[in-house]
Amino acid sequence: MELLMSSLKIAVVGHTNAGKTSLLRTLLHSRQFGEVDQRPSTTRSVLEQGVWLEGQQLLAFYDTPGLESGSELFNEVEAFVEQFRHDGPAQIRAFLASALADDRFAQEAKVLRQLLQSDAAFYVIDCRDPVLPKYQDELHLLTRCGKPLIPVLNYTAAAGQQEQAWRQALAKLSLHAVVAFDTVTPPEGGEAYLLESLATVVPSAAGALKELIAWRGKEREQRLHGALHAVAELLVDVASYQEVVPQSAPDHELQTAIERLQRRIRMREQDTVRSILNRFAFLPEDAIAEQLDSASGAWQEDLFAPEVLKAWGKDAGFGIGAGAATGAGIDLMVGGMSLGAATALGAAAGGLYQSWRHLGEKLKQRWRGQRELHVDNATLAALTGRQLYLLQQLVRRGHAATETLTIAKSHRVSREQFKTIEQSLGPILAHTPDIDRQRVVTELAGKLEENWSA
């Protein structure tokens, strides 16, 4: 790795509530850096956070307080222009040596001091705001520090944003290296472009930043690969779950076994959700609101409720019906007469026992006199769709996002997608003896990755 004499110092500056801390959360991949709030001046002091690669600190980011009195400060600094007509940094240093820097403009002074000590700065702009004189005065002051300044247009995905007006205003200050980077929904490749812009204004760090960009790309691939592997493990585990009850058992014992299997599936799904959230450095409260409990990571919506199974499975053509295990999303694989001959014949004719084809006559004989309960294809399809949708949202989500993720009930895997999954799960669904579970997981994860689409 290319060595730097010292870490590159980058100040993150801008008006109050422009999204400075939000930008850093997204760049640092940390939901816990700083404090994000709509109240003004949430950041009251300079916060430092390093970025490391292979044991070397490449970057030191400095989150600074918000600028609030740009126009008033501009007028005060103008008093030093005659004394240091062509020396902007000297004008700023003269102001910082004055009593005003420790009193009325103490917050702005912290920003200016940090900028003078930095190699470059990101000036974060909430482009939902109009181009006001106070913002233009701030920019004039910051450019006088003599440091490369990269304007970052935040909230570009918001309705009513004024990106074009801001670009025109920045051009009048000869600031043309502008980066549009929405911290809530970062653009594809946005982080790399931001770091490349930094390399342009600080050429001495170009090599190290290039290595950082490559490393971050590998990290993204590893997170995705690990998350899809976790989904594959979930599906393999759940597909292998089963409960066996005597055929002579009364209905209430059968219902108890079904509920026990359902609880097991719910808990396993919750573990996967927590694992994926953690892998992407998100918190439990970032989880999906409609179907995931914000405090514990548990799905609120009952996976086995008939309306959920209808939304996730039946309409996609997986053949589950209300008669299968009383609408619970469980197949009852039986030998002999199960729940009465009419029920068995009706279910078979209706296509409810989808996994029957995996058992064959030999296994039916093996289970004669017993009832075997396991998860049907509609439930597996629902599990797949929910996990992939969660993953798709996290891949696109910036760590500055504060709204809880929401998943649409209508989202599900297609019939073609599930067909591929079903093929990989074949040995598990068929209860083949001596299954190489890890091989099935690896194959299924590969299939999910091949068909992945963010």
149-154 and 120-126 strand pairing = parallel
Residue 342: pLDDT above 50? no
Domains and CATH numbers, the chain: 8-201 (3.40.50.300), 227-450 (no CATH)
From CA 11, how far away is CA 389, in angstroms rounded?
A: 36
From CA 211, how far away is CA 237, in angstroms rounded?
A: 39
Kindly state the percentage of the chain with pLDDT values over 90: 33
From CA 13, how far away is CA 444, in angstroms rounded?
A: 46
Least confident of 19-28, 38-47, 103-112, 405-414: 38-47
From CA 336, how far away is CA 67, in angstroms rounded?
A: 78
From CA 190, how far away is CA 283, in angstroms rounded?
A: 23
Are the CB atoms for 271 and 296 separated by under 8 Å?
no
191 burial (CB, 10 Å; 0-12 / 13-18 / 19+) is: buried
Q: What is the pLDDT of residues 131-179, one digit of tens each?
A: 999 999 999 999 999 999 999 999 998 888 999 999 999 999 889 889 9
Q: Is 1 helix (H, G, I), strand (E, B) or coil?
A: coil
Residue type, 367: W
Residue pointed to by tokens 């004499």: 5
Distances (CA, A) of 407 to 121, 313, 339, 391, 411: 37, 16, 37, 11, 8
Residue 336: pLDDT above 50? no
Residue pointed to by tokens 């490391």: 52
Distances (CA, A) of 320 to 25, 127, 325, 397, 446: 44, 49, 10, 34, 27
Confidence of residue 409 (pLDDT cuts 50, 70, 90): low
Residue 341: pLDDT above 90? no
Q: What is the DSSP letter of 4?
A: -
Confidence of residue 189 (pLDDT cuts 50, 70, 90): confident
Q: What is the pLDDT of residues 69-83, one digit of tens each?
A: 888 988 989 888 888
Confidence of residue 96 (pLDDT cuts 50, 70, 90): very high
Confidence of residue 117 (pLDDT cuts 50, 70, 90): very high
Residue 89: pLDDT above 60? yes
Q: What is the pLDDT of residues 250-293, one digit of tens each?
A: 888 888 888 888 888 888 988 998 899 999 988 877 765 344 33
